Amino acid sequence: MQNLSRKFSTLPIPKLSPSHPQPTTPFTPYSEIQHCRKILEHKIITILDACNTLNHVKQVHAHVIGNGLSQYSYVITKLVRTLTKLGVPMPTTYPELVFRQVLHPNPFLWAAMIRGCAIEGTLSEAVKYYTLMRREGTGPVSFTFSALFKACGSGLDVNLGRQIHAQTVLIGGFVADLYVGNTLIDMYLKCGFLDCGRKVFDEMPERDVVSWTELIVAYAKSGDMESARDLFQDLSLKDMVVWTAMVTGYAQNSMPKEALDCFERMRGAGVGLDEVTLLGVISACAQLGASRYANWVRDIAEESGFGATQNVLVGSALIDMFSKCGSLDDAYNIFQGMKQRNVFSYSSMIWGFAVHGNANAAIGLFHEMLTTDVRPNWVTFIGVLTACSHAGMVDQGRQLFATMEKYYNVTPSAGHYTCMVDLLGRAGRLEEALELAETMPIVAHGGVWGALLGACRIHKNPDIAQIAASHLFELEPNNIGNYVMLSNIYASAGRWDDVSSVRKLMREKGLKKNPAYSWVETKNGHEKFCAGETSHPKYNKIKKALEDLLNRLQDRGYRPNLNSVDYDVGDEEKMRILMAHSEKLALAYALLYADSGSTIKIAKNIRICEDCHAFMCGASRVTGRHIIVRDNMRFHHFENGTCNCGNFW
DNA sequence: CTAGGGTTAG
């Protein structure tokens, strides 16, 4: 408070030139002046709207002073708002200087300063302006409160927000104002008080689609799509934004089918769409992982004028989607066709190459990016490091890791350490990986230990696995995957006593294995298979096809990997379990019913087991088919008997 | 003046 006042009093305030008339000094008929003034104000505001650099605004300001207009609150308010729009930090000297030249700021100018602090400054600065304003005896208007609530919302100070809320009720009527009410709801929601937001909403005398949208988004973000949908159904006037909020809500809550249904209803309602809508739809298609949807949404994007070529947001999302749908070529075509590329486009493409096992392309693209203006961020490094680790490029990875902070100013996060532990671990350097996990400068989270545990599975090291698992059981006591993994590692080392003690632990915690399933895309749509299921209508044909395939593979030297079964049962039973793995059923189904010669795309919800991996390798050779399996980690491309992951996963 | 938004580690 003190500081600000002092700063204000020492700021040089230019004297107005006496040759220019003051706005309140009529020496021609008053109405005439009013008229001229309105035209002039309008002109300046049009000019300000077109300003897109700080320098432009400064020039306009100089003319405003030069023409003796620095007392026009309306013009100065617009000027301050333009500065805020341009991202000028508040309250730095320049906006303050502009502000202080006005001897008697009107409430709207004060509010513009408060709003500026809310967006480009801090809550405390905003409050200083409010307090100063009240001290000077200026009464608040509704805009004052919407600016203050915005400040509390971005400062996440719900207590102050609540106090001001109480004041507005006392002062009278401001909460009833639509804008104030909406900003107040937004403030409570930003601070995480959904109930309070809902209460304001319920008590508002007047609401508009903005009020509804705010709440719908809040419910969606809290994972409660039912409440969001209930509200949405009650809303009579639905605009593009609120439809988009629903589509995006479903997509963000892993309900891609519902997202697409909602999008179809939106189109049926004749509402337009924009790039934000498309982002939600694209994300839903990426989750479905099916080329059919991927191509469909790409066409819609192009027809709507928000295609990848023009729109960098849509383009980046499409890159990600196509690589998640297994079509790396389509992803790269999108990337190449983009007029503008930013760090999202590059990172998505690098990540796409990495999960498809194309490490050289990922690293090549990274270097290509460095020749442009685009700077890598932490996500970019996750991509290149992952590429290195999946390809066993230890030295490359180490070098990149070493440069990220030094040259690119990206501080390694736990995620980057996860990549490094993964890199060392996959390469068989389990002791080094363990040491890194234990000595890294930030706290290791589940990901780091999970990477180590995964490496212990590849390199069959139950002892280090035990260390990693003990950390994991503490950090993520309910993550079933960790118990299953440790149990698998013990099983393949033949340590059945340890297997049963892990089992016991799982039972005690009441954890149950996730049912494994796979789905495969054919021209008729998706077909889903659960492990061990026999109820499929075509089961007998599938079983027969699988047996034929097995015989052909065994002729060529394939032997079932019974170690992949972590049940201590007889070999025959192990064999039966192996042959009922869901991806094998899906493969047999695709061989029977997919177009002959087409690429077979299988997706599954958990990690592919070693036996299935070897089986797919063999199958790709004897059938001559390109088989892509997406597990929960990455993509495996099986062709001519080998997988491009190099048995590294 | 107020509402919808992007890549991400095991």
Rounded distance in angstroms from the CA atom of residue A375 to the C1' atom of nucleotide B7:
14
> Which pLDDT band, with edges at 50, 70 and 90, does A2 fall under?
very low
**Cα A427 from Cα A389, distance rounded (Å):** 8
Instruction: Please tell me whether any atom of strand B lies within 7 Å of the Cβ of A179.
Output: yes
Rounded distance in angstroms from the CA atom of residue A380 to the C1' atom of nucleotide B7:
8
Region A474-488: what's the mean pLDDT? 92
- Per-residue model confidence (pLDDT) at position A10: 34
- Per-residue model confidence (pLDDT) at position A172: 66
At A3 the three-state DSSP class reads helix
Are A192 and A169 in contact by the 8 Å Cβ rule? The answer is no
In what side-by-side order are the strands of the sheet with A525-530? A525-530, A517-522, A600-604, A627-630, A635-639, A642-643
**Cα A362 from Cα A382, distance rounded (Å):** 11
Tokens 């307090």 correspond to what residue? A131
Whether residue A614 lies inside any domain: the answer is: yes
> What CA–CA distances, in Å, run from A291 to A250, A331, A332, A353, A598?
20, 11, 15, 18, 13
For A635, left (φ over 0), alpha (ψ -120 to 50), or beta? Answer: beta
Q: Which is more confidently placed, A139 or A13?
A: A139
- Per-residue model confidence (pLDDT) at position A19: 41
Region A577-593: what's the mean pLDDT? 92
Strand B: which bases are under 7 Å from protein Cβ? 1-10
- Per-residue model confidence (pLDDT) at position A3: 37
Q: Does residue A91 carry a pLDDT above 90?
A: no
Nucleotide nearest to A454 (CA to C1'): B10
Phi and psi torsions of A402, nearest 5°: -65, -30
- Per-residue model confidence (pLDDT) at position A28: 59
Residues A504 and A466 in one domain: yes
- Per-residue model confidence (pLDDT) at position A24: 52
Rounded distance in angstroms from the CA atom of residue A321 to the C1' atom of nucleotide B6:
12
> Which pLDDT band, with edges at 50, 70 and 90, does A129 fall under?
very high
Tens-digit pLDDT profile for residues A240-265:
999 999 999 999 999 999 999 999 99
Share of chain A above pLDDT 70, in %: 94
Strand B proximity: list residues 325-354 of A with CB under 7 Å.
342-345, 347-348, 351
At A643 the three-state DSSP class reads strand
**Cα A244 from Cα A266, distance rounded (Å):** 8
Report the protein residue whose CA lies nearest the C1' of nucleotide B5. A276
- Per-residue model confidence (pLDDT) at position A244: 98
**Cα A228 from Cα A222, distance rounded (Å):** 10
Residues A618 and A541 in one domain: yes
Instruction: Please tell me whether any atom of strand B lies within 7 Å of the Cβ of A77.
Output: no
> Which pLDDT band, with edges at 50, 70 and 90, does A21 fall under?
very low
Most confident of A73-82, A362-371, A523-532: A362-371
- Per-residue model confidence (pLDDT) at position A405: 92
Instruction: Please tell me whether any atom of strand B lies within 7 Å of the Cβ of A313.
Output: yes
**CB-neighbour burial class of residue A56 (10 A; exposed 0-12, middle 13-18, buried 19+):** middle
Whether residue A585 lies inside any domain: the answer is: yes
Residues A533 and A498 in one domain: no
Our count of domains for chain A comes to 2
**Cα A280 from Cα A276, distance rounded (Å):** 7
Handedness of CA A197, A199, A201, A206 (dihedral sign): negative
Residues A639 and A546 in one domain: yes
Whether residue A130 lies inside any domain: the answer is: no
- Give the angle A23-A29-A33 at the CA atoms, nearest 5°: 35
Boundaries of domain holding A470: 417-509
Strand B proximity: list residues 29-48 of A with CB under 7 Å.
none
Tens-digit pLDDT profile for residues A204-213:
988 999 999 9
Report the protein residue whose CA lies nearest the C1' of nucleotide B9. A415
Rounded distance in angstroms from the CA atom of residue A49 to the C1' atom of nucleotide B10:
50
Residues A503 and A523 in one domain: no
CB burial of A524-550 (b: ≥16 within 10 Å; e: otherwise) equals eeebebebeeeebeeeeebbebbeebb
Lookup: tokens for A432 = 């080094």
> Which pLDDT band, with edges at 50, 70 and 90, does A389 fall under?
very high
What is the helix (H) or strand (E) element at residue A208, kind and residue range?
Answer: none
Instruction: Please tell me whether any atom of strand B lies within 7 Å of the Cβ of A633.
Output: yes
Instruction: Please tell me whether any atom of strand B lies within 7 Å of the Cβ of A479.
Output: yes
Region A99-103: what's the mean pLDDT? 90
Report the protein residue whose CA lies nearest the C1' of nucleotide B8. A379
Instruction: Please tell me whether any atom of strand B lies within 7 Å of the Cβ of A222.
Output: no
Nucleotide nearest to A247 (CA to C1'): B4
Lookup: tokens for A579 = 């042959």
Q: Does residue A15 carry a pLDDT above 80?
A: no
Residues A484 and A531 in one domain: no
Q: Does residue A272 carry a pLDDT above 80?
A: yes
Nucleotide nearest to A147 (CA to C1'): B1
Rounded distance in angstroms from the CA atom of residue A35 to the C1' atom of nucleotide B1:
26
**End position of a domain, from candidates A509, A531, A564:** A509
Region A516-524: what's the mean pLDDT? 83
Instruction: Please tell me whether any atom of strand B lies within 7 Å of the Cβ of A183.
Output: yes
Lookup: tokens for A266 = 């939106």
> Which pLDDT band, with edges at 50, 70 and 90, does A528 fall under?
confident
**Cα A47 from Cα A58, distance rounded (Å):** 12
Whether residue A6 lies inside any domain: the answer is: no
> Which pLDDT band, with edges at 50, 70 and 90, does A27 fall under?
low
Residues A430 and A525 in one domain: no
Residues A573 and A639 in one domain: yes
Instruction: Please tell me whether any atom of strand B lies within 7 Å of the Cβ of A108.
Output: no
DSSP A380: H
Tens-digit pLDDT profile for residues A50-74:
888 899 999 999 989 888 888 888 8
Residues A486 and A544 in one domain: no
Nucleotide nearest to A347 (CA to C1'): B7
Lookup: tokens for A155 = 């400062």
Pairs from A102-105 (Cβ < 8 Å, separation ≥ 24): A102/A70, A102/A71, A102/A73, A102/A76, A103/A71, A104/A71, A104/A73, A105/A73, A105/A76, A105/A133, A105/A138
Instruction: Please tell me whether any atom of strand B lies within 7 Å of the Cβ of A312.
Output: yes
Lookup: tokens for A497 = 């006593």
At A517 the three-state DSSP class reads strand
- Per-residue model confidence (pLDDT) at position A595: 87
Within 10 Å of residue A22's Cβ, how many Cβ atoms?
11
- Per-residue model confidence (pLDDT) at position A29: 65
The beta-strand segments (E) located in A453-596 are: 517-522, 525-530
Task: Report the length, in residues, of chain A.
Answer: 649
Instruction: Please tell me whether any atom of strand B lies within 7 Å of the Cβ of A144.
Output: no
Whether residue A573 lies inside any domain: the answer is: yes
Whether residue A580 lies inside any domain: the answer is: yes
Residues A567 and A489 in one domain: no
Instruction: Please tell me whether any atom of strand B lies within 7 Å of the Cβ of A13.
Output: no
- Per-residue model confidence (pLDDT) at position A516: 86
Whether residue A183 lies inside any domain: the answer is: no
- Per-residue model confidence (pLDDT) at position A193: 95
Of A378, A380, A429, A420, nearest to A398 (Cα)? A420
- Per-residue model confidence (pLDDT) at position A622: 93
Which distant-in-sequence residues (6+ apart) come within 8 Å of A253 by Cβ?
A220, A223, A225
Tokens 């309602």 correspond to what residue? A269
Region A258-275: what's the mean pLDDT? 96
Residues A531 and A627 in one domain: yes
Region A485-509: what's the mean pLDDT? 91
Within 10 Å of residue A367's Cβ, how many Cβ atoms?
9
> Which pLDDT band, with edges at 50, 70 and 90, does A7 fall under?
very low
Instruction: Please tell me whether any atom of strand B lies within 7 Å of the Cβ of A451.
Output: yes
Residues A482 and A576 in one domain: no
**End position of a domain, from candidates A489, A509, A529:** A509
**Cα A635 from Cα A331, distance rounded (Å):** 14
Whether residue A596 lies inside any domain: the answer is: yes
Q: Does residue A394 carry a pLDDT above 70?
A: yes
Q: Does residue A290 carry a pLDDT above 50?
A: yes
**End position of a domain, from candidates A454, A486, A509:** A509
Rounded distance in angstroms from the CA atom of residue A411 to the C1' atom of nucleotide B8:
15
Which CATH number covers residue A435? 1.25.40
Average pLDDT, chain A: 90
